[in-house]
Amino acid sequence: MPKQSRLEEPVTIYQPRELPSEKEKLKNMSLMGKLDYLWEYYKIHALGGILAIAVIIYVIYQVVTPNISTQFYAAIIDNALPPETIEAYTNGFSDHLALDPKLEDIQINDTFYMSGGNNYNMQQALTAYIAAREVDVIIAPESSFLNYARNDYFTKLSEALPTDIYSSLTDSFLLSDTNGDPDKNAYGIYLNDSDLFKGITYDGEPYVLGIVANYPHKENTVEFIHYLFKDLK
């Protein structure tokens, strides 16, 4: 029998094979295989769709949610007042200023506890708030207050308060020098006779209020001091 040459072999072996369609691939897979295949095939499209939906939701939230504008900010160091007292006083001062609670608020932040293990972190947080021009006044026990005063945290009361309020509170002033000024000036107001801190001390020390050097809300800061001493004749 004559040997078959390569030229006489069936031409079908040289024809390109038809690859199975996606439908045929899925048909021959198990259920888990189908799920894995579909996830690999469509995951980029799915993730893109999820991201697009998330962006749309975020944009809608930003549009329909009003930005609350803080109109006054007080930071209390080592607070000894109960939370309900702080909340009531915050609401009372907000009403006094006739603020719209949907758009404006008052912040009296009593979370700055410097005497515990978080001293460094709390101080860093307070410094960041001040650097961002968010804090109007600091209220602190006397010894802590003097430390801030000597490190130039506060503005002179004579430069911040109107004459009538300044004159009415002279008996309550705390005098201090600073790193930048050796002369003693009024930087603090003792709160013994104030509406909020009357009879309140921290380890026997009275609380003192100072106006931060770069305070943003000048009118409302003056009004807060007036509100604190509204019962003082």
Contact status, residue 209 vs residue 138, Cβ threshold 8 Å = yes
**Per DSSP, what are the bridge partners of residue 74?**
108, 137
* C-alpha distances in Å from residue 159, one per residue of 3, 68, 155, 192, 212: 115, 30, 7, 23, 12
pLDDT (tens digit, 9 = 90+) per residue, 189-218?
999 999 999 999 999 999 999 999 999 999
Provide the residue ranges of all domains of the chain, joining segments of one domain with +.
Answer: 22-64, 70-228
pLDDT (tens digit, 9 = 90+) per residue, 60-111?
655 555 689 999 999 999 999 999 999 999 999 999 999 999 999 999 999 9
- Which of helix, strand or coil describes residue 165? helix
The answer for 184, left when phi > 0, alpha when psi is -120 to 50, beta otherwise, is beta
- CATH superfamily, domain 70-228, is Periplasmic binding protein-like II (3.40.190.10)
Rounded to two decimals, what is the model's pTM? 0.73
> What distance in Å separates the CA atoms of residue 211 and residue 159, rounded to the nearest whole number?
10
> What distance in Å separates the CA atoms of residue 60 and residue 56, rounded to the nearest whole number?
6
Longest Cα separation, the chain: 132
What are the structure tokens assigned to 60, written together? 């809608």
